Each structure stands twice: as C-alpha cells, then as structure tokens.
Amino acid sequence: MAMHVIAGSVAENVEAVRQRIAAAAERAGRDPAAVRLVAATKTFPVERIAEALRAGVTDIGENRVQEATSKQAELRGGMRWHLIGHLQTNKAGRAAALFDVVQSVDGERVARALAARRPEAMDDLEVLIEVELTGLAGHTGVVPDGLASLASVVSRMPRLRLRGVMTMAPPVSDPEAARPAFARLRRLRDEAEQRSGVALPELSMGMSDDFEVAVEEGSTLVRVGRAIFGRRDEPGRETEARSG
C-alpha cells in the first residue's frame, strides 16, 4: 500500500511529536509526563513500527483485531497494545486475549463479553468508554447521557479495570475547531465521576491534526499515526479519526 511519507525518520518524527506534546502541556500548566503517546499503527508495516519502538514508543494502538494478531506475532517486547477501533461483540474474545487496553467500549454487551473472555493468566483488562460526540451517522460510542450509567456498570465487572473515556472530534479543517469537543469530554468525564462515584483518570483524545489542542484540554492519551509514520492512502475520516 502506497503512503505519502512525511519528512524525517520515524525517530525524528517521534521526537518532534513529543516536543509538541510537551509544549502544549506547558502552555496548559500541565506536566508533559502526564500525557502518553500511543502510536496508531493501522496499515503501517512492522518495520516502521519497530523503528518507533526503538525511538522509545511503548504504546501501540491498532484498529483491528486481525491486524494486531499478525503484528504481535512479529513484534516482541514490552509494548502495551491498545485497541482503538470499534469492537464487535463477536470479536471480543480474541480482543480480550490480545490487548492490554481496549479504548472503544461502547456498551454493556461488549464489556461483558470482554470480561467473560479475559484469560485468567493475564492481568485485568484496562478499558475506556468511547463517547460519541460527532453527531455523524455511523460513528460509534455511548451517547453522552449514558456515560455515567455505563461507567457504573462496567466498573463492577470482574476482569475489567475501567480507566477513563475516549472520543474523536468531528472532522474540522482548523485544530482549534476541535477544542469544544475535547472540553466537552472533559466535562462529561467530571460529571460522570460525580454521578457514578467511579474514578475516570484517563482522557483519550487527540490525533495527528489536533493532539496539541487535546493536550491543552486535558488529554492523557493521544493517538498519533500520520505525524509519526506518514499519511495513509485511505479515504474517509473514520480511518483517520481512530488511527491518528
């Protein structure tokens, strides 16, 4: 698959992204160490991912269970694997055994499937609840009014450890236009914590086009792909939205 590669090596790009994260955090009076870089690797070959790992990346985000399966067979080491794409319930069993974090829990049914299929030999599976804020047809995630109740239910499930929330911003041409969505997720998280009594420390928001704004609004996990590896030749915002 052809890709338009941005200037610089993967290592140089990782360093540039880290510097931008640090600058955004400092503008917001935050500790840059509180923001974790998740390299979104959908469609990128293992050779490029290995370069990112050598550059110090420790968190890998994949959209598809099948793609993660093949890449994990080739990549060994201490990285943490995040599922950042939509998860169908019938694939939850495989996902529960593959990933350290599932960021895209969007309902009780898929959460229960993950809890039931998490292997006993593995640590509890960390999960985030995906919140739908775009208003666009076909996009997944719990509606904002359902966040607190879902958080309450998921937090009580065995073998799962609820850590926070995730969202994607609506498609915008100016990163500043994504700020309201990120600020809204932070407010929704705060309200859900108060209503449910469940701590939700992680805010997964921000991608290659807008992660600096997301960090300024409190993001603790940014999903960055193109700014590290280059541009995918794939149509559609859905691919870009989850894959960074």
pLDDT digits (tens, 9 = 90+) for 221-230: 999 999 999 9
Per-residue pLDDT band for 242 (boundaries 50, 70, 90) equals low
Q: What percent of the chain has pLDDT over 90?
A: 86
- pLDDT at site 7: 56
Number of domains within the chain:
1
What integer is the mean pLDDT of 33-44? Answer: 97
- Asked if the model's pLDDT at residue 171 lies above 90, the reply is no
- Asked if the model's pLDDT at residue 15 lies above 80, the reply is yes
Name the DSSP letter for residue 6: P
**Domain range for residue 73?**
3-243
Q: Are strands 101-105 and 125-130 parallel, antiparallel or unpaired?
A: parallel
CATH number for position 148: 3.20.20.10
3-state secondary structure (DSSP) of residue 187: helix
What is the sign, positive or negative, of the torsion defined by CA atoms of 84, 86, 89, 94?
Answer: negative
- pLDDT at site 122: 97
What integer is the mean pLDDT of 160-170? Answer: 96
Distance CA 57, CA 53 (A): 5
- pLDDT at site 244: 76
Tokens standing for 186? 């932070």
Cβ atoms within 10 Å of 66's Cβ, excluding its own:
12
- Asked if the model's pLDDT at residue 241 lies above 60, the reply is no
Residue 215 near residue 24, CB atoms below 8 Å: yes
- pLDDT at site 78: 87
- Asked if the model's pLDDT at residue 4 lies above 60, the reply is no
pLDDT, tens digit (0-9, with 9 covering 90-100), for 70-123: 999 999 878 999 999 999 999 999 999 999 999 999 999 999 999 999 999 999
Query: What is the dihedral angle through the alpha carbons of 170, 172, 177, 181, rounded to the nearest 10 degrees?
Result: 10
- Asked if the model's pLDDT at residue 237 lies above 60, the reply is no
Tokens standing for 167? 């969202």
Per-residue pLDDT band for 243 (boundaries 50, 70, 90) equals low
- Asked if the model's pLDDT at residue 239 lies above 60, the reply is no
Mean of the per-residue pLDDT values of the chain: 92
Q: Where are the alpha helices (DSSP H) in the chain?
A: 10-27, 46-54, 65-74, 92-98, 108-117, 147-155, 179-196, 211-216, 226-229, 237-243
Tokens standing for 229? 């590896």
User: What is the Rg, in whole angstroms, of the alpha carbon atoms belonging to the chain?
Assistant: 17
Residue 159 near residue 191, CB atoms below 8 Å: no
pLDDT, tens digit (0-9, with 9 covering 90-100), for 190-232: 999 999 999 999 999 999 999 999 999 999 999 999 999 997 7
Residue positions counted in the chain? 244
Identity of the residue numbered 128: L
Per-residue pLDDT band for 138 (boundaries 50, 70, 90) equals confident
Per-residue pLDDT band for 56 (boundaries 50, 70, 90) equals very high
88: left (phi over 0), alpha (psi -120 to 50) or beta: beta
Tokens standing for 243? 């894959």
